[in-house]
Structure 1
Amino acid sequence: MKSKRILSNIVYNLGVFAIGIAMIYPLLWMVMSSFKESNTIFITASSLIPEKFTLENYVNGWKGFGKVTFSTFFKNSLVISVVATFGTVMASSLVAYGFARFQFKGKKILFTAMLLSMMLPAQVLMIPQYLWYQKLGWVGTYLPLIVPYFFAIQGFFVYLMSNFISGIPYELDEAAKIDGCSYFGLYRYIIFPLIKPALVTACIFSFIWRWDDFLSSLLYVSKTAMYPVSLALKLFCDPGAASDYGAMFAMATLSILPVLLIFLVFQKHLVEGISTSGLKG
């Protein structure tokens, strides 16, 4: 029995390792290709290790386009992602607090509508949203990429935080009210600190989604100097001329570093936020 268990563990771990390598290989290929000479990337595509390591792709890629360096694109992405994530976390936590702790007319209808919004494809809303933002004069600015997230438009985060808050004992609310705490004070001093795992989870997912958002930037941002990284990367591919894939792979490699860093730093809270649903009374 012991030998069978050992053999089973070996087979299982080898299978997981093989699947992991298959999943991460495209990423490894991109990273290693960024160190190859640009004109040899697809000639030596079957080889993962570069014949000659070079940093020329990173130098050329960082120069950007015209007078706009890639540092500007990174700054644009950082502004959009951080501000939109802040709005998402604050608005979603407030709405979730209302759903979890208050009783009001139409609550079930609103909660159902929130759940249905999670099932609605984003592509369905593109045309009406674009027409609306165009009438507001927001097209060509960052407003469509930031402002909506201050109104809790992502039901996933509201649902996640609502479950956390529902798991917090009501006795804490009652004790705070006896001490003269208002409803907003209850949210600020009791609820908000106790849903830290859900808040961190929302921060991670929201930041990654905003950082990687290509389509929204393509719709609403027109000036090159305002491009985020996700949109700027496509400038390396020119159908009418030679494409600099080496520089594109180099900048794409750099673009995943902020997301990877955030994931590694907050991984513990991410797992806790997904695997639990609040405090257990």
Structure 2
Amino acid sequence: MISKQRQILHMILLHTFTAGFALVMMYPLLWMVSSSLKDTSEIFVHAHQLIPSTFKLDNYSNGFKGFAGISFAVFFKNSLIVTILSVIGTVISSVLTAYGFARIRFRGAAIWFACMMTTMMLPSEVLTIPQYILFQKLGWINTFKPLIIPSFFGGAFFIFLLIQFLRGIPKELDESAKIDGCGLFGILARILLPLLISPIITVAIFKFYWTWDDFFSPLLYLNSPKLATVALALKNFSDPTMQTDWGALFAMSVLSLVPVVLVFAGFQKYMVDGISTTGLKG
């Protein structure tokens, strides 16, 4: 009886702590959603109140009008173009590179693999100036090319993740496919790709998050307001020299999270499976 009471008390304490911790983690998001429904004059005066005194739904319509005559629909379109093409490029290049390292024997493979892993240790700030000079000489500044084309050359983290998964797949499957007449690309397309669905979706989700939320790269390479992504547009929406419509700004911030939430909700299962199975098989 005493043991059962202790177990119940333990469960109550555990759920209370979990709920409290979840509330702390969710509070910034709840505050942003609440602020998107408040009048600008009320946001910081009654910042502690999550329930607005009056719901101002026109913050969303006002915010969607954008600024400088450019609607936020343009910024969402720009972000979708950059993000989707970057995801496609990263997935294709990372799968091909990982397949080469994991399944194909070639001279200097260990050296090239070490060089690839070394790039993971380089801070991105170290590469900023050389990359900018390179893209400037190529005439890519103020275009989407610096944000998209590098993705078609893979990413060390994603390649390593896929390599670890491929190493857990028995090579006997490759040998059986060779007997049936499959070449290298046939083995990849018919045998390995169906087994790589979970890690590929994991790669796509991470790349989607990082590209959609990226602020520094668009700030560095995009000068025209019409080319701005959502992250950059949100920064430009606030004007320190004039009165900022904070309600509209928070409304657009809430809308900017919608694609991220939808992707996470739709592919969460694959992401968890991809990470867990990669760790087990690595």
TM-score range, shorter chain: over 0.9
Secondary structure of 1:168 counterpart: coil
Equivalent of residue 112 in structure 1, options 114, 136, 157: 114
Q: CA deviation at 1:55?
A: 1.1
1:143 and 2:145 are equivalent in the alignment: yes
Distance of 2:139 and 2:216 partners within structure 1: 19
- Asked if structure 2 preserves the Cα contact closer than 8 Å seen for 1:84 and 1:147, the reply is yes
- Asked if structure 1 preserves the Cα contact closer than 8 Å seen for 2:142 and 2:224, the reply is yes
**Cα displacement string for residues 126-152 of structure 1 (whole angstroms, at most 9, x for unaligned residues):** 011101111111111000000000011
Q: What TM-score results when the alignment is normalised by the length of structure 1?
A: 0.96
- Asked if structure 1 preserves the Cα contact closer than 8 Å seen for 2:66 and 2:237, the reply is no
The equivalent of 1:95 in structure 2 is 97
The equivalent of 1:261 in structure 2 is 262
- Asked if structure 2 preserves the Cα contact closer than 8 Å seen for 1:197 and 1:273, the reply is yes
- What code does the residue aligned with 2:179 have? I
Distance of 2:279 and 2:183 partners within structure 1: 22
Q: CA deviation at 1:8?
A: 1.5
Distance of 2:209 and 2:86 partners within structure 1: 11
The equivalent of 1:272 in structure 2 is 273
Q: Which runs of 4+ in 1 moved over 3 A?
A: none
**Cα displacement string for residues 86-133 of structure 1 (whole angstroms, at most 9, x for unaligned residues):** 000010010000111112222112212222222221111101110111
The equivalent of 2:189 in structure 1 is 188
The equivalent of 2:172 in structure 1 is 171
Distance of 1:14 and 1:278 partners within structure 2: 31
Report sequence identity in percent: 51
Q: CA deviation at 1:171?
A: 1.2
- What code does the residue aligned with 1:235 have? N
The equivalent of 1:212 in structure 2 is 213
The equivalent of 1:51 in structure 2 is 53
- Asked if structure 2 preserves the Cα contact closer than 8 Å seen for 1:168 and 1:279, the reply is no
Q: CA deviation at 1:245?
A: 1.1
Structure 1 residues 119, 9: closer, same or farther in 2, change over 3 A?
farther
Q: Which consecutive residues of structure 2, in runs of 5 or more, have no partner in the other structure?
A: none
The equivalent of 2:159 in structure 1 is 158
- What code does the residue aligned with 1:163 have? Q
- Asked if structure 2 preserves the Cα contact closer than 8 Å seen for 1:169 and 1:279, the reply is no
- Asked if structure 2 preserves the Cα contact closer than 8 Å seen for 1:100 and 1:165, the reply is yes
Q: CA deviation at 1:2?
A: 2.1
- Asked if structure 2 preserves the Cα contact closer than 8 Å seen for 1:200 and 1:269, the reply is yes
The equivalent of 2:222 in structure 1 is 221
- What code does the residue aligned with 1:6 have? I
Q: Which consecutive residues of structure 1, in runs of 5 or more, have no partner in the other structure?
A: none
Distance of 1:22 and 1:110 partners within structure 2: 45
- Asked if structure 2 preserves the Cα contact closer than 8 Å seen for 1:168 and 1:278, the reply is no
